[in-house]
Structure 1
Amino acid sequence: MKERHVRVAVVQSAPILFDKQSALDKIASMSREAAGQGAQLIVFPEVFLPGYPRGLSFGTRVGSRTAEGRKDWQRYWESAIEVPGAETDMLGELAKELEVYLVIGVVERDREFSTGTLYNTMIYIGPDGALLGKHRKLVPTGSERLLWGQGDGSTLTVIDTPFGRIGGLICWENYMPLARTAMYAQGIDIYIAPTADARDTWQATIRHIACEGRCFVLSCNQFADKATYPADLAYYADIENDDDILSRGGSAIVGPLGEYVAEPLFNQEGILLATLDLSQVVQSRFDFDVVGHYSRPDIFQLVVNDRKQEIVTKKVR
């Protein structure tokens, strides 16, 4: 029988950009703080490890790149991690020590085909230290497309836990109705939505998802200011005239009828904590179940290609 209650934590913070160790240190310290307050599931923002390079151009213009920008990108590449790899092993030890589930946004360096591509990835680690799964962002947004490759349907991941099924999508993937449907169809109870979007309209998005999917939504954003950016970047001037606060946050926890369980946190670092009653998920689906009695498979059907896409297929002779 599933546990009815779970204590969750949403971390709103930022490491020193491009500094892998800074991110790992923050994950450790803030996870310990959250676990000390009873958290069993701890969520970190989009690409927390090693940070979201908001405002940086990497020397790109349509039709051209610069040598200096390539060096900034190499620095970002060097701060990425492999999944699985040494860093996920370290994070597994942390999760095992604290007996918590960790969900963390990372920049993933592909290790299978070409080490030249990075992915915006969300990893799931269990309280036994095991890497339970990952999700790669399907469509990087806008100029993100030059930084990260596209994920595929093989990582539309949902994890079964003692307190319900957890999974999610990253930032503007949550504006993709069919991607959301693919997640709902896996029986998701706790929907995790790390983001870099601090606009007021994002709040409408996460409340809509909670109401549509009749699930809890944990939305997690970074709080970042100029102090989190290395001043020796070739293109630091890109943000020099911006406001000191580069991302104001807006992390929040929403219940399955669209109400706030924890109000949005703005303009500061912090940890949102809440105890979720999973029986509310069942109760909320009494009058609306988006992939159950409120679906019309005789009219609408979604086909999901969940096969891993490979550039090279080796045939055994």
Structure 2
Amino acid sequence: MKEGQLRVAVVQAAPILFDKLSSLTQIASWTKDAAAKGAKLVVFPEVFISGYPRGLTFGTRVGSRSTEGRQDWARYWESAIDIPGEDTAILGEIAREAGVYLVIGVVERDQEFSRGTLFNSILYMGPDGSVLGKHRKLVPTGAERLLWGQGDGSTLTVIDTPFGRIGGLICWENYMPLARMAMYAKGIDILITPTADARDTWQATLQHIGCEGRCFVISSNQFVTKESYPVDLACYGDISQDSDILSRGGSAIVGPLGGYVTGPLFDQEGMIIADLDLSLVTQSRFDFDATGHYSRPDVFQLIVNNQKQDILRTI
């Protein structure tokens, strides 16, 4: 591989829903395979630990929740992880043995207050096995709001690596113009966008962000079938009339001028491998730099509250 290049692996798969062991086993297997192919950055989809519960209602209607739905949510809570914790130690060992940066979508339990809140998070593990950081989704989308709490500006995380600055926004956070601008202002070179959106419009979003941010965009989605859902879920009947393929994927990598490096991958489980030439990031900013010569700070200003929001300070 040439100097200044980075080999990336993007995993498009799904664990058994609510099954943490399935998630960890798959992460170990896919990461080992990616490392054997020379990858130094391995990316997994949104909430890969322990799955995106597409189609499930958790017994919810406007104005009421069912006992059975609460039981399913408690099962979801049990399959979540603490950051840091025993599960991040396992993930750290996977990253260390493979010698890779590992970026994984996870369901994270709140450890600081009630432990009754979950977050949709990105977890960053270093090749030395350490937890490098995390990002909590700022606004869960639609019915996701009943599952996950809102993150704050303290986890708009960007990681310095030997090959450039990496960070991420989750799924529809990437439709938030100011969130994107905040990441651009942090000097992002590679924006990672774990998602559950398999529509064609998501592909247009990836290309727009690559062109707007003059950065590489790495999007990892799950390929999900009904077989990955435990049939003993109280809400399993919610998906009984759905097609066997619940998410067709669409993982892709886009370059800093908006063109595809590779992808999208649809209708199958798999792994995308690509070599990124990081010098293209600098080249692309010759005529457009969103936070540099094209920013006009005399006209526009962005204020970001990056302070951790401590509930105990608000009561």
Which TM-score bucket, shorter chain as reference?
A: over 0.9
Instruction: Output one character per residue of 1:184-242: Cα deviation in whole Å (capped at 9) or x when no partner.
Output: 00100011000000000000000000000000000000000000000010010100110
Gaps of 5+ in 1: none
1:254 counterpart residue number:
254
Distance 1:100 1:244 in 2: 34
Q: Which amino acid aligns with 1:174?
A: N
Q: In the TM superposition, what are the counterparts of 1:61-72 in structure 2 within 5 Å?
A: 61-72=61-72
| Aligned residue pair count | 312
**1:115 alignment counterpart:** 115
Q: Counterparts of 1:94 and 1:52 in 2: how far apart (Å)?
A: 22
Structure 2 equivalent of residue 100 of structure 1:
100
Does residue 283 (structure 1) correspond to residue 287 (structure 2)? The answer is: no
- Opposite residue 67 of structure 2, the aligned amino acid is A
Q: With structure 2 as the length reference, what TM-score do the two structures score? A: 0.98
Answer yes or no: is 1:151 the counterpart of 2:151.
yes
Is 1:140 aligned to residue 148 of structure 2? Answer: no
CA shift at 1:168, angstroms?
1.1
Matched to 2:157, the amino acid is T
Give the Å deviation of 1:4: 1.1
The aligned counterpart of 2:206 is 206
Q: CA-to-partner distance for each residue in 1:72-98, whole Å, 9 max, x for gaps?
A: 000000000000110001100111111
What's 1:32 paired with?
32
Describe the SS at the equivalent of 1:14.
coil
Unmatched segments (≥5 aa) in structure 2: none
Q: Distance in 1 between matches of 2:300 and 2:41?
A: 35
Query: How far apart are the structure 2 equivalents of 1:25 and 1:37?
Result: 19
- The sequence identity of aligned pairs, in percent, is 74
Question: Deviation string for 1:273-314 (max 9, x for gaps)?
Answer: 101000000000000000000001111000000000001149
Could you tell me which residue of structure 1 aligns to residue 15 of structure 2? 15
- Per-residue CA deviations over 1:104-158 (Å, capped at 9, x if unaligned) read 0000001111110000000000001110000000000000000000000000000
d(CA) in 2 for partners of 1:36, 1:247? 28
Q: Secondary structure at the match of 2:273?
A: strand
Q: Say which SS state the counterpart of residue 120 (structure 1) adopts.
A: strand
Partner amino acid, structure 1, of 2:184: Y
Matched AA of 1:14? A
Structure 1 equivalent of residue 161 of structure 2: 161
Aligned partner of residue 165 in structure 2, secondary structure: strand
2:298, 2:67 → 1: CA distance? 55
For the aligned residues, what is the CA RMSD? 0.8
Instruction: Give the SS at the match of 1:89.
Output: helix
Question: 1:269: how far off?
Answer: 0.3
Residue aligning to 1:225: 225
Letter in 1 for 2:12: Q
Partner Cα separation in structure 2 for residue 72 and residue 313 of structure 1: 32
Q: Is residue 2:212 matched to residue 1:216?
A: no
Letter in 2 for 1:99: G
How far apart are the structure 1 equivalents of 2:250 and 2:17? 20
- The residue that corresponds to 1:179 in the other structure is 179
Per the alignment, in what secondary structure is the counterpart of residue 220 of structure 2?
strand
Q: Secondary structure at the match of 1:194?
A: coil
Whole-Å Cα distance in 1 between the matches of residues 313 and 175 of structure 2?
33
User: Does 2:59 align with 1:55?
Assistant: no
Task: Give 4+ residue runs of structure 1 displaced > 6 Å after superposition.
Answer: none
**How much does 1:263 deviate?**
1.6
Distance in 1 between residues matched to 2:89 and 2:300, nearest whole Å = 42
Aligned equivalents of 2:87, 2:4: Cα separation in 1: 32
* SS in structure 2 of the partner of residue 94 of structure 1: helix
How far, CA to CA, are the matches of 2:263 and 2:29 in structure 1?
23
* Residue type at the aligned position of 1:298: D
SS state of the match for residue 24, structure 1? helix
